[in-house]
């Protein structure tokens, strides 16, 4: 199996798992949130007041449901993303190998965000620590900032110049 086939296989698995997360898991989570914004979907970040609103507006089962999703589906997606996009950049060679760190950082930020948000939601509105909320929001901002950069880098790597072969 060639490196390109491995990349396309990883990318396909990543996209299937992501689509399942969004299409199958997302709607019930949104319903449990009762219209309140879910933290890891907020590309502009959030604060303690935002999480308090979510926790007081959402169905009582929302924190446990979020924890279950963040420990399964939403753990798989950032890992698969980091692997597929990072590997895609790595096999492009040259400077692209250094840039492979970008999707890995994005995946790490997403995992950190999921861990912190889960912890915050499970303690309830009375237990929210503003410092932990700030860190969680920072990881959310990092994730959303690094996502388009990762996509652009991967797409750009497809157009890299191929070494010219000389004919004798």
In a domain, 138, yes or no: yes
Please tell me the predicted confidence (pLDDT) of residue 127. 95
Domain residue limits at 88: 3-158
In a domain, 168, yes or no: no
Residues of the chain with pLDDT below 50 are: 165
pLDDT tens for 19-28 read 999 999 999 9
As for how many domains the chain has, the answer is 1
In a domain, 73, yes or no: yes
pTM: 0.91
pLDDT tens for 20-58 read 999 999 999 999 999 898 999 999 999 999 999 999 999
In a domain, 60, yes or no: yes
In a domain, 69, yes or no: yes
For 88-136, the DSSP string reads HHHTT-THHHHHTHHHHHHHHHHHHHHHHHHHHHHH-GGG--HHHHHHH
Contacts of residues 50-56 at CB distance under 8 Å and 24 or more positions apart, as own/partner, are 51/120, 51/121, 51/125, 51/128, 51/133, 52/125, 52/128, 54/121, 55/121, 55/124, 55/125, 56/125
Please tell me the predicted confidence (pLDDT) of residue 160. 78
Residue 109, classified by CB atoms within 10 Å of its CB into exposed (0-12), middle (13-18) or buried (19+), is: buried
* C-beta of residue 133 within 8 angstroms of C-beta of residue 46: yes
Tokens in use for 76?
A: 């798989």
Please tell me the predicted confidence (pLDDT) of residue 1. 72
């Amino acid at each position: 199996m060639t490196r390109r086939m491995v990349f396309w296989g990883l990318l396909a698995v990543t996209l299937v798992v992501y689509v399942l997360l969004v299409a199958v898991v997302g709607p019930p989570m949104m319903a449990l949130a009762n219209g309140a914004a879910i933290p890891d979907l907020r590309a502009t970040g959030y604060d303690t007041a935002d999480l308090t609103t979510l926790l007081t507006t959402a169905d009582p089962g929302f924190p446990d449901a979020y924890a279950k999703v963040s420990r399964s589906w939403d753990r798989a997606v950032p890992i698969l993303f980091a692997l597929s996009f990072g590997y895609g950049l790595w096999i492009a060679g040259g400077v692209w190998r250094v840039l492979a760190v970008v999707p890995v950082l994005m995946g790490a930020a997403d995992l950190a965000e999921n861990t912190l948000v889960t912890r915050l939601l499970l303690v309830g509105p009375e237990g929210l620590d503003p410092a932990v909320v700030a860190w969680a929001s920072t990881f959310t901002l990092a994730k959303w900032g690094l996502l388009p950069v990762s996509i652009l880098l991967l797409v750009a790597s497809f157009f890299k110049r191929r070494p010219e072969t000389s004919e004798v």
